[in-house]
Amino acid sequence: MLRIKDLVKRYGKDEAVLKDLNLEVPGESVVAIIGASGAGKSTLLRCINRLVEPTSGSIDLNGTELTTLSGGELRLARRRIGMIFQGFNLINRLTVMENVLSGRLGYVPTWRAMTRNFPQSDIDRAFQLMERVGIAHYANKRADELSGGERQRVGVVRALMQEPEILLADEPTASLDPKTSRQIMELLRALASELHLPVLINIHNVTEAKEYTQRIVGMRFGRIIFDSVPTDLTQDAMDEIYAGVPAEERGETGDPESLREVVSQ
């Protein structure tokens, strides 16, 4: 159970990116977070595993308050939270197996990590997961030799190697073609139910969000303005989530008349 309460994130003295945000993700649900660019989706996910430092508020994962952790405690908490990235963020020059095993870096002692001497149980788990997503035959290939869809599978397996209690996916399909994108979404949904894992997915593709998740959260300007099952996401709700652009909202756009004059000259 992930419980976010009154979360605020402010960069410097600018307007807050997340404003008193509240969200609960129980059990093993797959939740899609939608919203325009700049709505704060990515910041929200990064606040959970503290890649971004929250300004105030509380984030509780299965009884652990995440916002106050530091040093070793933070590392122990991070290994319980798997993350999947838009740009895959694999270590390009290392092999697929090394990338997968790097999901264990929060568990193994430094000397094992240095010598790439991972415990047999980790290696077994790695092969098992790689076989599950169909990349086991690439174990000794360099990560940058794989196609986009295959790389994201490596990313998924790396996150699962952490034996996470929750999975965060930040635009996991935005760098992929439509077909591969659907395969990855399908994989995430299947894995979530097989491993009884709650998954939080930032996503731009609303059709995929509706199809592959049980709950949709709509964000706008740092607030959650929609939170319901996919069938409730009507055109009106969509218009509200994606209405306007931040500059327009603040009344910062130029006078269209003057531009028309320039163009027609």
User: Which CB, 165 or 226, lies closer to other proteins?
Assistant: 165
Pairwise CA distance, residues 112 & 16, whole Å: 42
Q: What share of the chain is helix, strand, coil (3-state, %, to 5)?
A: 45, 20, 35
Q: Which residues contribute to the site for other proteins (CB under 8 A)?
A: 49, 51, 72, 75-79, 81-83, 85, 87-94, 102-107, 110, 113-114, 155, 158-159, 162
- Partners of 84 in the β-ladder: 169
User: Which CB, 83 or 192, lies closer to other proteins?
Assistant: 83
User: Which CB, 25 or 157, lies closer to other proteins?
Assistant: 157
Radius of gyration of the chain (CA): 20
Minimum separation from the CB atom of position 218 to other proteins (A): 25
Minimum separation from the CB atom of position 211 to other proteins (A): 27
Residues 6+ away with beta carbon under 8 Å from 77: 49, 50, 61, 64, 66, 69
User: Which CB, 51 or 238, lies closer to other proteins?
Assistant: 51
Residues 6+ away with beta carbon under 8 Å from 99: 90, 91, 143, 154, 158
Minimum separation from the CB atom of position 101 to other proteins (A): 10
Q: State the DSSP H helix or E strand holding residue 83, giving kind and residue range, or none if neither.
A: strand 81-84
Minimum separation from the CB atom of position 197 to other proteins (A): 16
User: Which CB, 77 or 184, lies closer to other proteins?
Assistant: 77
Minimum separation from the CB atom of position 78 to other proteins (A): 4
- Residue at token pair 């174990």: 139
